[in-house]
A and B are shown apart, each in its own frame.
Chain A
Amino acid sequence: MTILDVRDLNVVYRANGREIEAVRDLSFTVEKGDSMAVVGESGSGKTTLAMAIMGLLPSQAIVRSGQILLEGQDLVTMPESERRKIRWKKVAMVFQASQNALDPVKKVGSQLVELYLYHNRGAKKEEALDRVAKALLTVNLSQSIMNMYPHELSGGMKQRAVIAASLLLEPDVLLADEPTTALDVVTQAEILLLIKRIVSERGLTLLFITHDISLVASLCNRIMVMYGGTDMESGPMRDVLLSPTHPYTQRLMEVLNGLEEGRLTLEQLREDQGRGCPFLSRCRFAESRCAEGLPKRRSLGNREVRCLVRGEG
C-alpha cells in the first residue's frame, strides 16, 4: 500500500524579489513499511522536501504546484487546523542537530510530558508519564534522565531523547533529516542501529535524509538520489548501489568505492550553463541536447531515472 505519494512538487523560495527553485518536478512514492533514503548534497532540496511534507516550510517558501498525498489525502491543500492533527501523530520528524530542539531550562521528562499532553487533551498526567517512560525505554534511556536537564546529557543521549519525543505520539511515518550530523562516529553508529531497530519493531515507514550513502546502505531498502532540487534516480537500494544508472549516482559510487580502497578519482568540471540538466556541468556523458531542459523521468528496469543519455538503444 502506498502511504506517501509526492507528485510533481515544485517549491520556490522568494528572496529579494527573486525566486529560487528549491524543489523541481519532484515525484516519488513510498510504500507502507519501506525505508527510503533521500540522498543529495547540500542545496539539493532534500530538507525543503522534508519541511514541505511536515508543513513546516518557512514563510518565504511557496509550494508552486504539486501534491503530497499521505494515505490519499493531499497535505498541500489541507488547512493548517487539519494538518495539526496529522503532524507528529502520523508523520514525525527528527531534525538536523535536533539535540538543540530540547529546551535548556526544562527537565527532559517534563518536556516530553508536555508534548504528550498538548496532543492528547484530557489525558491524565499519570498516563503521560507512563508513555514517556516507555518511549525512553525504547531508545535505551533510563527513567533517571527524566529528572535531568539537557546539558547533563551527552550528545548521543540528547539525540535519543529527541527520537523518543518523535515516537511519543506513535507516528506511522518517521522523517529523519541528517540525524547524526553533530555526533561522533561511535555515537552515530549507536543512533543508526537504534533507528533500524525501532523501524523494524514498530513497522514504521522511514524517510532518511542524508548526504552520505554509506550511512543508509544497510539501513534502507530504497533510495532516491536528488540533485538540483529534483530526483535523478530512484530504485531498490541494492540495485542502485551495485549498478548506478544516472551519471551523478555513478559519480557518487565511484568516489565512495574509491575512498574505501584508498583511491581518489577526479572529475573534470565544465562551465555551468545554468539551464538544462542540473548535473550538466559535471557530467562526463553530457551531449548538446542535455542543455535543452530538465530531462523527463523515465523507467529503466526497476529504476526511475532522469537522464537523456542513459539507457538508450
Chain B
Amino acid sequence: MLALEVRSITKRFRRGNVTVNALNDVSIGLDEGERLAVVGESGSGKTTLARIMVGLEQPDQGEIYFMGRKVADPKTKMDVETRRKFSIVFQDPYETLNPVKTVFDIVGFPLSVRGVKGEKLREAVYSVLRDVRLTPPELYVSKLPQQLSGGQKQRVAIARALIYGPKVLLADEPTTMIDASLKAEVLKLFLDLSSKYGVNLVTITHDFSVAPILSHRVVVMYKGMIVEEGPTREVLTNPLHPYTQALIAAVPKLEGEVKLMVRQEETREERGCPFFSRCPMRMEKCREEPPMRDLGDRRVRCFLY
C-alpha cells in the first residue's frame, strides 16, 4: 500500500483573466518509509504540489490518497485529523520563527494548541530538542530566535515540525539559507530523524546536489508537469529528459565549470512540450504535448524516448 498518493492532480490559478496552469496532470506515489525529492525551478509547480499533498490547497482535478484512503479531491477538503499527519519545515528558518516567543513556546505550540500542558508538554519539548541535538535543552528553552545561530534556528523549526509525530515531513528548500559547513549537519538531522520518527521525508528543492542524500526517488518538474521520475542516483548519473540534463549540468561543482544546456531566447512560446522554447534538442513533433513514457522504474515525458 502506498503511504501517500496523488492521482492526476491539476491546479490552476486565476488572476483577472489570466490563468496559470500550476499543475498539469501530476501523479506520484510514495511507499511507506520512502524519501522523495521534488526538483524544479521557481514556477515549476513544486511548492503548489507540496501544498496540495499536505492539504493546504485543494486540487481542481484529481485525488489524494493517504494510507489507501481518499482524503481529498476538488469537492472534499482534507480533514483535520489527516492534516495532522503532515508537517512542513519551511524554507527560511529566519522568518518562520516568531521573534517574540521562546524556543519552548515555539516548539511546544503544536501540542499546547491541542491542550497538552504541564509536565507532559515539558517532557515532549525537551525530548524533541534533544533529538535535534539542541542539548542540553535547558540551555535553549528560554532563548528567543534572535539569540540562536542560523543552524540552531533550523533545528528549532525541525523540532516544531516533529513534535506531534507526523507521518509525512515536507522540507521546503531546507538548505538554501545556510553555508556549506552547516549543510551536512542539517541534512544528517533530516535523515536520522525521518528514520527515527518513521516519517516519509519529501524534499522540495531547486538544487540537485541535495537530492541524492535526502531521497530515494526524484521527481523533476517543469512548468507544472512531471518531465522525469526515477531512482535519484540513476536519474543523476543518467538523466534522460533534456531539462533534467540541463539542470544537472548547471549545478556548480568544485572541479570544472557549469554548463548551460538551454537555448537562451527571450521568446516564451507556449505550446506542446513545456520545455519547447528552451530545449536544445527540440523537433517539429515537440509542438504537441509529449506523453509520459514508462521505462521500467523510470518515467520520462519526451519524444526522444
B78–chain A nearest beta-carbon distance, Å: 29
User: Which segment of A53-61, A104-112, A119-127, A254-262 sits at the interface?
Assistant: A254-262
Beyond A42-B150, A186-B262, A190-B260, whether A259 also contacts B183 by CB under 8 A is yes
With A214-B252, A255-B184, A266-B184 known as contacts, the answer to whether A184 contacts B206 (CB < 8 A) is yes
Residues from chain A with a CB closer than 8 A to the CB of B149 are: 43
Question: Are B246 and A186 touching (Cβ within 8 A)?
Answer: yes
Collect the chain A residues with CB atoms within 8 Å of residue B181's CB: 41, 248, 251-252, 255, 267, 282
Within 8 Å CB of B207, what residues of A? 185
Residues of B within 8 A of A211 (CB): 178-180
Query: In the complex the two chains form, is B254's CB within 8 Å of A260's CB?
Result: yes
A257 to B42 alpha-carbon distance, docked (Å): 27
Choice from A184, A215, A262 contacting B41 with Cβ under 8 Å: A184
Q: How far is the CB of B174 from chain A (nearest CB, A)?
A: 13
In the assembled complex, A204 has its CB within 8 A of some CB on chain B = no
Residues of chain B within 8 A of A189, CB atoms compared? 249-250, 252, 258-260
CA–CA, A303 to B263, complex, Å?
Answer: 41
Smallest beta-carbon distance B232→chain A, Å:
10
Interface set, chain B 122-163, CB cutoff 8 A to A: 149-150
Answer whether residue A288 sits at the interface, using C-beta atoms and an 8 A cutoff.
no
- A264 and B188: CB pair below 8 A? yes
Residue B56 lies at the interface, judged by CB distance under 8 Å to chain A: no
Cβ–Cβ contact A262 & B212, under 8 A? yes
Instruction: Output the nearest chain B residue to A184 by Cβ-Cβ distance.
Output: B41
Residue count of chain B within 8 Å CB distance of chain A? 40
Give A40-71 interface residues, CB cut-off 8 Å to B: 40-43
Chain A residues closer than 8 Å to B210, beta-carbon distance: 259
- Scan residues 183-221 of chain A and give those whose CB is less than 8 A from a CB of chain B: 184-190, 192-193, 211-215, 217-218
Binary contact track A128-145/B, C-beta < 8 Å → 1, others 0: 000000000000111011
Partner of A42, one of B177, B212, B253, B260: B177
Chain A residue total in the interface (Cβ 8 A): 43
B191 cross-chain contacts in A, Cβ below 8 A: 264
CB-CB under 8 A from B252, the residues of chain A are 188-189, 192, 212, 214-215, 217-218
- A128 CA / B19 CA spacing, docked (Å): 39
Contact of B180 among A140, A193, A252, A282 (CB under 8 A): A252
Least CB distance from A269 to B in Å reads 8
When each residue 175-215 of chain B gets 1 if its CB lies under 8 Å from chain A and 0 otherwise, what string results? 00111111111011001000000000000001111101100
Measured CB to CB, the closest approach of chain A to B178, in angstroms, equals: 7
Output the nearest chain A residue to B209 by Cβ-Cβ distance.
A259
Given contacts A184-B41, A266-B184, whether A40 and B255 have CB atoms under 8 Å apart is no
Say yes or no: is B247 at the interface (Cβ < 8 Å to chain A): yes
**B residues less than 8 Å from A40 (CB atoms):** 179
* Cβ–Cβ contact B260 & A256, under 8 A: no
Chain B residue contacts of A215, Cβ below 8 A: 252
Asked if A155 lies at the interface with its beta carbon under 8 angstroms from chain B, I say yes
Q: Is B251 an interface residue (CB 8 A)?
A: yes
Q: Provide the A264-290 mask, 1 if CB < 8 A to any CB of B, else 0.
A: 111100000000000000100000000
Inter-subunit contact A218/B257 (CB<8 Å): yes
Q: Does B256 contact A (CB under 8 A)?
A: yes
How many angstroms from the CA of A213 to the CA of B254 in the assembled complex? 8
Chain A nearest CB: distance from B144 CB in Å?
14
Q: Which of B188, B250, B253, B257 contacts A188 (CB 8 A)?
A: B250
**Cβ A266 vs Cβ B253 within 8 A:** no
Q: Which residues of B lie under 8 Å from residue A308 when comparing CB positions?
A: none
Is B297 close to A, CB under 8 A? no
In the bound complex, do residue A264 and residue B187 qualify as a contact, i.e. CB atoms below 8 Å apart? yes
Whether B264 is near chain A, meaning CB under 8 Å from some CB there, is yes
- The verdict on B266 contacting chain A, using a C-beta distance below 8 Å, is yes
Determine the residue in chain B with the shortest Cβ distance to A242.
B254
Q: Are A155 and B184 in contact (CB under 8 A)?
A: no
CB closest residue in chain B, given A148: B266
Check A241–B254 contact: CB distance below 8 A: yes
Residue contact A214 to B254, C-beta cutoff 8 Å: yes
Residues of B within 8 A of A155 (CB): 42
Do A265 and B184 have beta carbons less than 8 Å apart?
A: yes
Within 8 A of A (CB), among B99-139: none
Most chain A C-beta atoms within 10 Å of own C-beta, residue among B149, B208, B249, B258: B258
Q: Judge whether A214 and B253 touch: CB under 8 Å.
A: yes
Q: Name the one of A193, A260, A264 contacting B253, with C-beta atoms under 8 angstroms.
A: A260
A122 to B182 CA separation, bound complex (whole angstroms)? 52
Q: Are A142 and B266 neighbours in the complex by a CB distance under 8 Å?
A: yes
A250 — nearest CB in chain B belongs to which residue? Answer: B181
User: How many whole Å from B244's CB to the nearest CB in chain A?
Assistant: 11
Contact A41 B183 (CB under 8 A): no
Q: Is the CB of B185 within 8 A of A185?
A: no
A282 to B249, CA, bound (A): 34
Question: In the complex, what's the smallest C-beta–C-beta distance from A19 to chain B, in angstroms?
Answer: 16
Question: Which residues from B are CB-within-8-Å of A255?
Answer: 180-181, 183-184
Using CB atoms, name the residue of chain A closest to B262: A186
Shortest C-beta distance, B190 to chain A (Å), equals 10
Which 8 A-B pairs have CB atoms at the shortest separation, nearest pair first? Answer: A184-B41, A41-B179, A189-B250, A189-B258, A214-B252, A211-B179, A255-B184, A185-B250
11 A–B contacts, CB within 8 A, in A order: A43-B150, A155-B42, A187-B41, A188-B258, A190-B260, A192-B252, A212-B179, A212-B180, A217-B254, A248-B181, A260-B254
